[in-house]
Structure 1
């Protein structure tokens, strides 16, 4: 049986008072408990630590060695606890985040800006990829947190950081732009620009199609692109239509690059999530950021 930290505290009290009974009184335990703690220590170190005398107990040579080191041990533990407490109050270091396009480009920057106003010693490393790869990076512990629009693994702790809607975007002079409204049947007739496999945006659209009895095979897909910005460029140049996040779509529409057309028979509302790794590299900083985002 390995000794607990409290056993070393018991040992020091017994050494200082030169009495198991006095040590027990100061610690608020029984004398039998003190004897048991000392016995465990003696077995662990394979040495006699005390000599029994008519007045109480005295340290042996081995006991004196332990006394010097036990004081240092408990002092080091106390210092470590103090440093950890300070770190919890004033976190520092790096937080590694992987994010899918929409939360990474449109939600995280403002969240991080507000957080770093309070916690100036924490920095961020962010990589943008698709939602599926984000979860793979989290599983491999290559990142500490991910920001995604689709939950691929429900075993992780997550926090909603925003709400989004996927919208149909078409070239400014497209017939659907003139019509002002679309149905799923209209989308099935058009050249469609898809997001890459693994994209949260794509998965939401796939699920919505399946609810209507369709699949991506029913679309006339002419290309697959890896970001909202590349799709916006392709749509604005007349290559086809697409479904993307409303956040970048509005910016592009305001700039005259494309038109947003409401879809009458398709609900494409979704949420944006932060997902926390199970064993983050910098737990103090991660906890402070997570508590900041969740409002704890």
Structure 2
């Protein structure tokens, strides 16, 4: 997910904000973060979630919205659909598809889009199932199929001319990056991280430092 670009600069700046803090970072899927918080194994988590799923978190968790992203259609630069902007999800779903592995966040994003737009997942022409966005983008760039990914993930590849992207014409494309914690759970570290994140949002908005070099002017 976009966290692979955002996490390093986010944590580096938090460490500068609070040098005394000792950080231990565990990487996992959305379900892993939720269970780690509920089981007391983590103080806070960073999640990229579909906008409509935020409601499902609000009963147990508090969160700050750090930035927004959106899902886009991804294909090779010479694919005939590069001229279609935006791309209709029904049309895209009939193309040879490259998916992330089941249980991954990228797979969750696609599963939710299919559900919201009443597309049967079993009807997809799945060409490949790979592990991680880099493998998916490499396969797409070689013309092996199309995919759907968060726009932030694709920026450096688009800038390099290896892939093309188009907005999606469908429900469920909006994503939100959240800092999340259990309700009424305030350790000193969480208080410090919360204050830092509020300042981070105020300073950088939707274009934090780790993304700026990939953002078109």
Q: Identify the residue that residue 18 of structure 2 maps to in structure 1.
A: 119
Aligned length: 194
Distance 2:69 2:84 in 1: 24
Q: Identify the residue that residue 285 of structure 1 maps to in structure 2.
A: 189
Within the alignment, does 1:259 sit opposite 2:161 as a pair?
no
Aligned positions of 1:34-183 closer than 5 A: 101-102=1-2, 104-150=3-49, 151=54, 153-154=57-58, 155-183=60-88
The SS at the match of 1:124 is: coil
Kept in 2: contact 1:170–1:259 (CA 8 A): yes
Shift of residue 180, structure 1, vs aligned partner: 5.0
Superimposed CA distance per residue, residues 82-118 of structure 1 (whole angstroms, 9 cap, x where no aligned partner) = xxxxxxxxxxxxxxxxxxx32x212232322322222
Kept in 1: contact 2:112–2:172 (CA 8 A): no
Shift of residue 263, structure 1, vs aligned partner: 2.5
Distance 1:218 1:249 in 2: 26
Per the normalisation by structure 1, the TM-score is 0.58
Larger proportion of helix: 1
The SS at the match of 2:8 is: helix
Distance 1:140 1:255 in 2: 43
Shift of residue 171, structure 1, vs aligned partner: 1.2
Greater CA radius of gyration, 1 or 2?
Answer: 1
Question: Equivalent of 2:143, from 222, 238, 241?
Answer: 238
Higher relative contact order (CA 8 A, sep 6+): 2
Shift of residue 144, structure 1, vs aligned partner: 1.9
Distance 2:131 2:34 in 1: 17
Which consecutive unaligned segments of at least 5 residues does structure 2 have? 203-217
Kept in 2: contact 1:171–1:258 (CA 8 A): yes
The SS at the match of 2:179 is: strand
Per the normalisation by structure 2, the TM-score is 0.77
The SS at the match of 1:128 is: coil
Distance 2:132 2:44 in 1: 21
Kept in 2: contact 1:132–1:199 (CA 8 A): no
Distance 2:37 2:184 in 1: 10
Distance 1:127 1:237 in 2: 32
The SS at the match of 1:169 is: strand
Superimposed CA distance per residue, residues 194-224 of structure 1 (whole angstroms, 9 cap, x where no aligned partner) = 2233333433333332232223223212333
Which consecutive unaligned segments of at least 5 residues does structure 1 have? 1-100
